[in-house]
A and B are shown apart, each in its own frame.
Chain A
Amino acid sequence: MSLEKAIPVKINGVPHELLARANETLLDCLRQHGQFEVKNGCEKGDCGACAVQIEGEAVDSCLTLTWTVEGRSITTLEGLNDTNKPHPLIAAFMEQGAVQCGYCTPGIIVAAEEMLRETLNPTDDDIALALSGNLCRCTGYTKIFAAIRQAATVLREGGGND
């Protein structure tokens, strides 16, 4: 049996240590650490509910071994919010009613935020490409697309956190 190691990471900007053995996934460690916004859907890369960003890049935390993120910055949904106001994506999801059961939402916002850092003028194709690893069984995606378009507009007009 491999040893348990203390893995130094930053979670949403704050330094932490995650205790993990070699075979433990980041998904399990983050939830044990209390990051319940990171959801466990399928544990095999299909649903995207467990998505977090490592150094700004969205990954499925169920397919990421905790040891491999040593020294990295991890961003979850919680990390996107400013202390005073919600991230434009989160605000737009609430305004557009893009959340039903909400299970898929943290992963979707994490994936969409990565795309919006590449382009603030996303076409529907860009949005579909960004969300191609996120399953939503409730909304039918229409309102999710609307929310992402709205957030892009807000960010283009300089309405984001700075």
Chain B
Amino acid sequence: MLSEFDLEMPSDLQASLSSLPYATPLGGGTNLLVDLRARREKSKRLVWLGNIQAFREIKINAQQVSIGGGTTLSDILHSPAMAEAAPSLFNAARVFGGQMVRNRATVAGNICSGSPAADTVPPLLSLDATICLTNAEGCRSVPLDQFYTGFKTNLRRQDELITGLSWLVPNSNTANLFYKLARRKGDAISVVGVAVTVTREGDRCTHARIALGSVGPTVFRAKDAEAILAGGLLSEKLINDAAQKAMEQSKPIDDLRASANYRRHSVRVLTRRLITQAWHSLPEKTAHT
């Protein structure tokens, strides 16, 4: 039995925003209901977002992707253009929870859960995604990279909702990959999650992102490791150096899923593997269009 609470189910965004200062948003409920049952969450008033019109909308054009605050992991998997517009996110959706969870779990809820193991966050960081935080007054854009302030703490104010996310579609000289290391392929919490973005111009890497999950209090970008790659002539040595640096930037803990040492080791191996894979998937000659 869940503890007692009130539940509002507004069908428009404004109404949900006006309840928010006093209530907790309920997206797919795949975190919140589990936490309420375990008495980790004690809210007495919930606002369900599932009735809000057009909240699950996905828009993709040649340049940009934007998704609504109610977009589910299944929506990502069922969006035909998503595999190209956000390869890492699409791959994260394939290894996320189980089917019933994916049908309900939202990307916004995943971000707000604040878990260092949240699987959509490394991909979204690797794509430089921006989130739209909206309250009754209006919307502010915050780069996801600046959103987290510590373990399960973030910049969202009590009266704000994530109403959308957006990022630029990677160009044809850019590869974007994600790998989730877990004990099973499905329905498992990440031991380590790594997302990388690499842009290639001839022999040079002109842009790099490396985002790491489950190896620190929040998901984060290994910026020192990125800096080793960006602008450099890419070689096996440079990739090894970047992978080593990513490992050094990780601050994992021992828990029931894996030891901190194993996680550190995995960060190095996976970063090296993904950057190498990304690099070789890109054309040597830059297609100038």
Report which A residues bind B (CB closer than 8 A): 1-2, 21-25, 28, 43-46, 48, 51, 57-60, 62-65, 67-68, 70, 111, 114-115, 128-134
Contacts and interface: CB of A to CB of B under 8 A. Distances in A.
Contact of B100 (A21, A25, A59): A59
B34 A111 contact: no
A27 B46 CA distance: 19
B98 interface: yes
B34 A67 contact: no
B98 A133 contact: yes
Interface in B20-60: 26, 28-30, 33-34, 36-38, 46, 48, 50-51
Nearest to A52: B100
B101 interface: yes
Given A25-B2, A44-B34, A63-B29, A132 B7 contact: no
B126 to A, nearest CB: 23
A139 to B, nearest CB: 16
B99 A64 contact: no
A63 B7 contact: no
Interface string B178-209: 00000001110000000000000000000000
A133 B29 contact: no
Contact of B98 (A1, A24, A67, A132): A132
Nearest to A54: B103
12 contacts: A2-B5, A23-B3, A45-B97, A60-B100, A62-B33, A63-B100, A67-B7, A68-B7, A111-B99, A129-B94, A132-B99, A133-B187
B76 to A, nearest CB: 13
A67 B101 contact: no
B185 A67 contact: no
Given A23-B5, A63-B104, A114-B99, 6 more contacts: A1-B4, A2-B4, A45-B101, A58-B100, A60-B104, A63-B30
B280 to A, nearest CB: 24
A46 B99 contact: no
A68 B1 CA distance: 17
Of all A-B residue pairs in the complex, the 10 with the closest CB atoms, nearest first, are A133-B98, A132-B186, A22-B7, A23-B2, A132-B98, A60-B100, A133-B100, A44-B34, A63-B33, A57-B103
A2 B100 contact: no
Interface residues of B, number: 34
B104 A128 contact: no
B233 interface: no
A2 B29 CA distance: 19
Contact of B186 (A28, A43, A64, A128): A128
B6 interface: yes
Nearest to A67: B7
B30 A65 contact: no
Contacts of B97: 45, 132-133
B48 to A, nearest CB: 6
Nearest to B46: A22
Interface in B71-93: 74
B9 to A, nearest CB: 7
Contacts of A132: 97-99, 185-187
A118 to B, nearest CB: 8
A63 B186 CA distance: 19
A21 B1 CA distance: 11
A43 B37 contact: yes
A131 B4 CA distance: 33
A51 B104 CA distance: 12
A28 B37 CA distance: 14
Given A2-B6, A2-B7, A68-B50, A51 B34 contact: no
B69 to A, nearest CB: 16
Contact of A48 (B2, B48, B98, B185): B98
Nearest to B7: A22
A48 B30 CA distance: 13
A85 B115 CA distance: 47
A60 B37 CA distance: 15
